[in-house]
């Protein structure tokens, strides 16, 4: 069987997505491979197609039990023999899978990295002909990645202890150039085929809001999307509890996920979300890696993540089916302090040398700064993300909150002169420069103990911005930094004027602040229709197709996407097949699924045709 026959027969696609064929050809030719592809870009196919064509077993190293379970269910659902070995299996089930492996009954086996060097498992694998070891979420092997897992370092030792070295393939959606290089080194990939298809997700709408009070904004956002599936990320467990309770009180079917819950409750809540018994998951970043739920149509961050890698990965759980989806971040100044606290906790890793610890802390500080800059920029948000990952892009995308907003230039020259004068007078009084927090207090006329003790209330610039909010005062300071009139000293984080400050103070240079004039508008329903090609009259048909999918998913006790993705249902509604042959032409419908589900969906389509006549 050829690769395209496998693609058509099992996965129901007539062509490969960008990057897939090059990786598949490389693996089939016996070369190692590294694939950097966005979430929903089809990474799994790149090792699953070769797994069916190579003689022997493909071992997939995967970080989460839930991910293994769902991927195996999806593979079994299209007729591919696959299984997993993890702690979710009882002893009897575990031994049954081991027997099946010895009998050659499976083409793919999913395992966690922690199991690789366990004596019994290693002995079993040494007996098998392993054609490929595929490493999912490969960024976890890099100490410079945002999800470093020391257990991933066991992979190379495991491969070295096999009788014959298999092809080694690695895949991830989130890796900067530095992390990509580290993956190649740590996995010891040999002459790999490397494909980076890019980080752009055109179907995702990115937006940042800076509300004075987050809770009312969040509830309004979720209530407006009541009939859609989404994730709300919070920085802390207490935040998850509070927001989940708030949404439930509003009648929104929400559930929760964080590391403080029992394993049983986490699994139960995740299943409720996966099976659409609950439409909203409120979670910490403990939830989500590898979650393959295709119909998540919004991800809202109640707090700012610690890095753009983390944000891109978490936000990217929306729109995996290719349909229009939203990624909204609610930013507040307190988010920075929370992120710094978590970074400090992580930086105290005793396994690192003092030099490594300092390097990790410096790297984390740079990442946090890039994340904060994303929250504050008035330029294209998609462009900001793509710049970070090193991908070229157009100046504007037309599908983010900033590109859809109107901005105005506000003259803040007078306020800038007050601020720069204050910086100089504080330095003249104390003999040293101070940070933004103390400077803001002086400008706003604070009676804090520190201001009074240092005698800064006696300065002529004390209280000049008394009627200006703290947030706006901070924005003035940021604008002066962006314009090059102030600079933050890297060690003590104090603000000092640059030589250009004299242009504002003495030579009439103007300073402007860019402000949003009107909020961006996103209409998810219309956007989704436009992208999928559906007409409004197709909505009743889509609802009927989804109802049939839900019924089948409940009967088989599998997530909805294991039956068919939203994109496949949309293609059904567009093509309206009436025969099994026509049904097979729908994107995402392979031969096994056509035999299993074709009759049910063709009946729905036939009724729709009859009702419209």
**pLDDT for res 352:** 64
Q: For 400-410, write each residue's pLDDT tens digit.
A: 999 988 778 88
Q: For 188-215, write each residue's pLDDT tens digit.
A: 999 999 999 989 999 999 999 988 899 9
Compute the distance between CA of residue 70 and CA of residue 261 in angstroms, rounded to an integer.
21
Same domain? For 177 and 302 the reply is no
526 inside domain: no
**533 pLDDT exceeds 50?**
no
| Structural tokens at position 99 | 């027997």
Same domain? For 41 and 175 the reply is yes
375 inside domain: yes
Mean pLDDT of 244-259: 96
Compute the distance between CA of residue 30 and CA of residue 32 in angstroms, rounded to an integer.
7
Same domain? For 80 and 158 the reply is yes
Q: For 385-433, write each residue's pLDDT tens digit.
A: 999 998 989 999 999 999 988 778 889 999 999 999 999 999 999 999 9
**pLDDT for res 528:** 40
- Predicted TM-score (pTM) of the model is 0.79
Compute the distance between CA of residue 293 and CA of residue 301 in angstroms, rounded to an integer.
18
Same domain? For 542 and 501 the reply is no
Domain's final residue, options 396, 418, 444: 396
CATH label of the domain that carries residue 169: 3.40.50.300
Note down the domain range covering 13.
Answer: 3-196
Q: For 313-344, write each residue's pLDDT tens digit.
A: 899 999 888 889 999 999 987 898 888 888 87
The Cβ of residue 403 has, within 10 Å, a number of other Cβ atoms equal to 19
Mean pLDDT of 279-299: 85
**pLDDT for res 328:** 97
Report the Cα–Cα distance between both ends of the chain, in Å, rounded. Answer: 43
Calculate the average pLDDT of the chain. Answer: 89
- From its phi and psi, is residue 223 left (phi > 0), alpha (psi between -120 and 50) or beta? alpha
Mean pLDDT of 554-559: 84
Same domain? For 440 and 422 the reply is yes
528 inside domain: no
Same domain? For 192 and 208 the reply is no
Q: For 368-388, write each residue's pLDDT tens digit.
A: 989 999 998 989 999 999 999
Residue identified by tokens 């700012």 is 304
CATH label of the domain that carries residue 506: 1.10.10.10
Domain's final residue, options 175, 196, 217: 196
Decide if 326 contacts 204 (C-beta within 8 A): yes
**pLDDT for res 351:** 63
* Residue 35 φ then ψ, to 5°: -115, 120
**pLDDT for res 493:** 84
| CA-to-CA dists, residue 462 to 448, 465, 488, angstroms | 13, 8, 21
Give the residue with greater pLDDT, 174 vs 403.
403
Mean pLDDT of 532-544: 68
**347 pLDDT exceeds 80?**
no
213 inside domain: yes
**527 pLDDT exceeds 50?**
no
């Amino acid at each position: 069987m050829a690769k395209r026959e496998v693609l058509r027969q099992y996965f129901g696609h007539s062509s490969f997505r960008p990057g897939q064929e090059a990786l598949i050809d490389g693996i089939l030719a016996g070369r190692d491979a590294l694939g950097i592809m966005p979430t929903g870009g089809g990474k799994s196919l790149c090792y699953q197609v070769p797994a069916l064509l190579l003689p022997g077993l493909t071992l997939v190293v995967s970080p989460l039990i839930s991910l293994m379970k769902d991927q195996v269910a999806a593979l079994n659902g299209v007729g591919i023999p696959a299984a997993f070995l993890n702690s979710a299996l009882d002893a009897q089930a575990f031994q049954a899978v081991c027997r099946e492996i010895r009998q050659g009954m499976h083409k793919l086996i999913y395992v966690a990295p922690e199991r690789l060097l366990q004596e019994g498992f290693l002995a079993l694998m040494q007996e098998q002909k392993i054609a490929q070891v595929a490493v999912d979420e490969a960024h976890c092997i890099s100490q410079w990645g945002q999800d470093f897992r020391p257990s991933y370092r066991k992979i190379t030792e495991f491969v070295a202890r096999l009788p014959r070295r298999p092809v080694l393939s690695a895949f991830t959606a989130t890796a900067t150039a530095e992390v990509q290089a580290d993956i190649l080194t740590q996995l010891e990939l040999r002459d790999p085929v490397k494909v980076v298809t890019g980080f752009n997700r055109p179907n995702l709408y990115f937006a940042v809001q800076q509300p004075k009070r987050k809770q009312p904004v969040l509830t309004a956002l979720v209530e407006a999307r009541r009939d859609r599936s989404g994730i709300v990320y919070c920085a802390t467990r207490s935040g998850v509890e509070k927001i989940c309770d708030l949404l439930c009180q509003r009648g929104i079917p929400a559930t929760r996920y964080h590391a403080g819950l029992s394993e049983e409750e986490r699994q139960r809540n995740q299943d409720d979300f996966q099976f659409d018994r609950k439409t909203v998951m409120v979670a910490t970043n403990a939830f989500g890696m590898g979650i393959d739920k295709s119909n998540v149509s919004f991800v809202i961050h109640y707090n700012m993540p610690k890095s753009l890698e983390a944000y891109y990965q978490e936000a990217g759980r929306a729109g995996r089916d290719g349909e229009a989806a939203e990624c909204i971040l609610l930013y507040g100044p307190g988010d920075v302090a929370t992120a710094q606290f978590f970074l400090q906790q992580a930086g105290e890793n005793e396994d690192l040398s003092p030099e490594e610890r300092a390097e990790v802390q410096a790297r984390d500080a740079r990442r946090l700064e890039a994340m904060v800059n994303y929250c504050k920029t008035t330029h294209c948000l998609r462009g900001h993300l793509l710049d970070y990952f090193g991908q070229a892009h157009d100046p504007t995308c037309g599908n983010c909150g900033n590109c859809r907003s109107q901005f105005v230039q506000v003259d803040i020259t007078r306020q800038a002169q007050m601020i720069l004068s204050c910086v100089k007078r504080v330095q003249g009084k104390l003999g040293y420069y101070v940070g933004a927090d103390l400077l803001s207090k002086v400008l706003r006329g604070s009676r804090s103990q520190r201001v009074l003790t240092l005698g800064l209330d006696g300065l002529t610039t004390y209280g000049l911005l008394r009627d200006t909010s703290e947030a706006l005062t901070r924005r003035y300071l940021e604008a002066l930094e962006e314009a090059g009139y102030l600079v933050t000293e890297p060690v003590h984080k104090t603000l000092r004027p640059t030589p250009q400050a004299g242009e504002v103070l003495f030579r009439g240079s103007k300073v402007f602040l860019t402000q949003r004039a009107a909020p961006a508008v996103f209409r998810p329903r219309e956007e989704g229709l436009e992208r999928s090609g559906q007409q409004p009259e197709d909505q009743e048909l889509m609802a009927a197709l989804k109802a049939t999918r839900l019924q089948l998913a409940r009967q088989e006790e599998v997530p909805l996407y294991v039956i068919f993705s939203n994109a496949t249902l949309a293609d059904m509604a567009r093509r309206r097949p009436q025969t099994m042959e026509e049904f097979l032409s729908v994107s995402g419908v392979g031969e096994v699924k056509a035999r299993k589900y074709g009759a049910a969906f063709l009946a729905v389509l036939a009724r729709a045709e009859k009702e419209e006549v």
